Structure 1
Amino acid sequence: MSVLLMLMSLCVLAQQQNRLVIAYVCSWTDQRLPNPMLMTNINYAFGHVNKTFNGCNVQNPDFLRKVVALKQINPKLKIQLSVGGWTSGNFSEMAADAKNRMMFAKDCARIVKLYGLDGIDIDWEYPTSSEAGISSSPNDTKNFTLLMRDLRKTLGKDKLLTAATIADALYVDFRSCIQYMDFVNIMAYDVADAPKHHTTLFRSPLSGRITVSEAVDAHIKAGVPKNKLCLGLPLYGRGDHGNNILEHYMKTGYTGGYYKACWDSVGQVPYLADWSGQLAWAAENTRSFAAKCQYIIDRDLLGAMYWETTEDNAQEDLMNTVYLSLLKYNKATIPLKQVLVMTDGQENAETEHLRALGKSLGFVVNVFTPATPFVDRLFARHHLLYNVNCNMDALSADAKTAFERYIDKAEGSYLAYNADTTKHWAWYNAFFKQPQAKHARTILYKVNPNLGYMPRLSTYEENKKQALKWLLRLE
């Protein structure tokens, strides 16, 4: 019995070690590099089929080199060039001509060697379809298989060859081409617009044309083995992207009081509802990501893919959820919230009390003083900055700049215990007097306030747990 248990444990361990997490990193965003320890693979977006249909152009090659340099931090990281994307054309013409197709495949192999990449990802959206405004042909599905064959020839067996596919598993003859491919990334999102949710795990009244679980079943039925399936997860929401509140909600948690945060218990997804109760914004959070990760584990899929890294919040909560669930613990795991206590360097009762609360509410406490060497994203990694008795004037120039960004971009929440203005920091004083002008969740508490602009929030001490839940978005 003990030998059997040991073998079962080794099997589970092997599953954990072999599971993949693929992150799309885009060339046109703010070019913020992700934490490479949270993933096993990066797909760099994008390369494009050139105008003569016989080669590949790489967007922003200098940034690609920076992405490849992440291997210095994580030597096991695999990096592919993703070719295509929505509205990226010239695939149909290239794949239809044997000479052009082979020249394109050879150029992809050249690019892989030139930049030190680990393979190619094809994101043709979609063979035989002009939905994205690109040319298409009835022969595209057959030619897609030939393209996979030719790419495998030029790349060799040791390089990765993958593809991103529509949730419905349409347009590709998987039974013919899967032999050439290492795995498939299912784009199990963007299947509906509000008032429907674009990526419910299971079918509910809010579901669009297909659910995440239905997308997985569709691919398996189409001929893709489970051990070659990676489930695509969106790090973004969907709705009216022209609405500034909705567009930034998943990063800031700010609703302006116009929307109500809701949970679809059947579809296993969050959303914002308007005054009538109708879905206005289809969202994701750590709870929904954990549910999808558990689904990946339960179905024994190869792993997860997500689009795209700069869409996550400052603390990278969603990416951390995927990392913890799939790569570290092999079970759905939601990361703990992070609180940075800002002090003058002396431990005090308030800090200890906060640590005790953290054990019950689910957050970790770290300590910062003006003497602490400031490193990039120190503030941004924390969900709450809790100023106990830190002299804000004493912060370094880098720390002040980071704090201003933290508040201006609503990267997290701020609580000032026994709050007061500063002598020399004009930005902080303006924020202190009118915190409502910012979207960051803020509580400014004064034990013995003077008369004037500083209100006394007498209920804070009496309702500290509720205040922290609100600041940390634990409600």
Structure 2
Amino acid sequence: MICWRLLCVLLVLSSIHADPDTVESKVDPIITCYVSTWATYRPVGGKFDFSNVVPSLCSHLVYAFVGINPEDSSIKVLDPWNDLEDNGGKGAFQKYIQLRNVNKKLKVSLAVGGWNEGSANYSVMAASPVRRKTFISSAVKMLREHGFDGLDLDWEYPTKRGGNAADRENFVLLVKELRQAFDNESHSSGRRWLLTSAIGASPDVIRSAYDLRSLSQHLDYLHIMSYDYHGAWEPVAGVNAPLRGQSDEDELSVEKTLELLLSSGAKKEKLLLGLPFYGHTFIASNVNEKPKLGSMTLKEGFSGPFTKEKGFMGYNEICAELERNASYWSISWDERSSTHYAVRDTHLISYDDPKSIERKVRFGMKKNIAGMMVWSLDTDDFLGDCEKTTGYSKFPLLRTINKAVTAALQEREHELAKNKKDHVKKNNSSRYTSLGYFVFIGIMTLLTIF
């Protein structure tokens, strides 16, 4: 009887060491798609509205933009005729929201701010408890009234462009109070609103504008605007969104931005890497020179037929031009930045295409960030004009992101499964070692007894 009881105790003790370590599983990545809603006014071929969206390709849509009233800091609609149904308006708010009927998991948020809104009015709002309260209550009212799933803050940028040093702290107060108001709304309605923010990518903005550790506590996601590192505003031809900089010391790159954000306290599970569906254009200052990256340029690029903005071309404009006039353009690949650039006479375009987009996606996913963000749907090849070049009938860049994210997720899950298997194997080995040890002690004890 003594032997039997002792052996039972030994088996129980050894089983304690056999519990495998738990391995945390990763959440599905996010693909957030901004829509610049003024694209509805572009000419035929570039005109974009809700009917062009493929809802299954995005987990989140962000409707850009609404603004704020400088008088009291309440939220205001910037384009009533396009956004609302009142007075014969187009009702784009509701039409984008109704895309949830096609993709039941789709979330549609409303973005407030943007480059054209500037920073000064947002700085004034964030500095005043009264104005913050007005802004927040008007935001709650607008989301509730129209049925949006959340609010995206696109303040460009705290402490910059007419802001002041106090913006950094005040932005945290604003986000914290918004989160509390949204949580209160959730308790009463049972519906949780998303709270996100677009954040600048330059080291100067990141260090000055954002208390990332605090913001990460209250925001659902931070949308990294990891593009516009270089453009026609500079005197040399550069890359819009280089994966890596011109040298190891160059901080203007996707790689360095992500490193800085993570080292500054941003939570990786809250970060979305921004991917540009456009390129920047340049004109060489020397008319006798065929430009390349680094060439001296005029501070004014050329424009595309739809976006009509000097220094800027949507990917849909770029791929169509390169396909239509292929014999006039020479296309090169810059390995360091992982970017293509095209040259014709004195003109140069630096741009992202499926190859460069895939590299950035895989880079970001290996950092275990939450997912990707795109600016913006309306400049992808949404009509499929470049199918011959891209191999996709519509949305080649967005489909590349979906494909690359899925592949990266599968690799991540495979690695998790492998790690779990290794943990189990290791613990099984430990269990048998422990069992052998306890059996040995038990036998020696029995021999002592008898």
Normalising by structure 1, what TM-score?
0.62
SS at match of 2:273: strand
Is structure 2 residue 334 aligned with structure 1 residue 264? yes
Which residue, out of 30, 34, 37, partners 2:56? 37
Q: Which structure's residues are more often helix, by fraction?
A: 2
Change in CA separation of 1:163 and 1:244 when aligned onto 2, cut-off 3 Å:
closer
Amino acid in structure 2 at the alignment position of 1:173: D
Does residue 1:294 correspond to 2:362, yes or no?
yes
Q: Which residue of 1 aligns with 2:404?
A: 325
Alpha carbons 1:250, 1:284 under 8 Å: kept: no
Number of matched residues?
A: 319
Q: Quote how far apart the aligned CAs of 1:259 are.
A: 2.7
Query: What is the match of residue 151 of structure 1?
Result: 178
In structure 2, the residue matched to 1:417 is: none
Corresponding letter in the other structure for 2:242: T
Matched, 1:48 2:67: yes
The change in CA–CA distance for 1:255 and 1:129 in structure 2 (over 3 A counts) is farther
Secondary structure, in 3 states, of the residue corresponding to 2:62?
strand
Q: Which of 101, 104, 116 is 2:132 aligned to? A: 101
Match of residue 437 from structure 1: none
The 1:136/1:36 distance shift into structure 2, 3 A limit, reads same
Task: Note the alpha carbon deviations across 1:286-316, whole angstroms, 9 max, x for none.
Answer: 1111111111221111000000101001210
Aligned to 2:275: 233
- 1:197 and 1:206 in contact (8 A); partners too: no
DSSP 3-state at the match of 1:28: helix
Structure-2 change in CA distance of 1:294 and 1:4 (3 Å)? farther
Contact 1:167 1:188 in 2 (8 A): yes
User: Post-superposition shift, 1:65?
Assistant: 1.0
Q: Within 2, Cα distance between the matches of 1:266 and 1:328?
A: 23
Amino acid at match of 2:223: N
SS of the counterpart of 1:253?
helix
Q: Secondary structure of 2:105's match?
A: coil
Determine whether 1:304 maps to 2:378: no
Q: Which amino acid aligns with 1:324?
A: K
Question: Larger relative CO (CA 8 A, sep 6+): 1 or 2?
Answer: 2
Q: Is the 8 A contact 1:200 1:207 kept in 2?
A: no
1:356-380 residue CA offsets vs partner (Å, 9 max, x unmatched) = xxxxxxxxxxxxxxxxxxxxxxxxx
Is 2:251–2:257's contact at 8 Å kept on the other side of the alignment? no
Give the residue type in structure 2 aligned to 1:184.
L
Once the 2 structures are TM-superposed, how far is the Cα of residue 210 of structure 1 from its aligned partner? 0.8
Separation in structure 1 between the aligned mates of residue 261 and residue 59 of structure 2, nearest angstrom = 23
Displacement of 1:327 after TM fit? 4.2
Per-residue CA distance 1:370-420 (angstroms, 9 max, x = gap): xxxxxxxxxxxxxxxxxxxxxxxxxxxxxxxxxxxxxxxxxxxxxxxxxxx
- Equivalent residue for 2:196? 162
CA contact (8 A) 1:199 1:208 kept: no
Q: Equivalent residues in 2 for 1:77-92 (5 A)?
A: 77-89=106-118, 90-92=121-123
Counterpart secondary structure, 1:330: helix
Q: Which runs of 5+ in 2 are unaligned?
A: 1-17, 41-47, 85-90, 187-191, 283-300, 306-311, 384-393, 412-450
**RMSD (Å) for aligned C-alpha atoms:** 2.8
Alignment counterpart, residue 115 of structure 1, candidates 119, 128, 146 = 146
Matched residue, 1:242: 302
Quick one: distance in 2 between partners of 1:24 and 1:45?
7
TM-score by length of 2: 0.66
Cα deviation for residue 209 of structure 1 reads 5.4
Deviation at 1:67, TM superposition (A): 0.5
The answer to whether the 8 Å contact 2:37/2:49 transfers is no
Q: Which has the larger radius of gyration?
A: 2
Identity of aligned residues (%): 27
Question: Which of residues 238, 250, 253 is equivalent to 1:196?
Answer: 238
Residues 365 and 408 of structure 2 are in contact (CA less than 8 Å); yes or no, is this contact kept in structure 1?
no
Whether 1:19 and 2:29 are equivalent positions in the alignment is yes
CA contact (8 A) 2:64 2:110 kept: yes
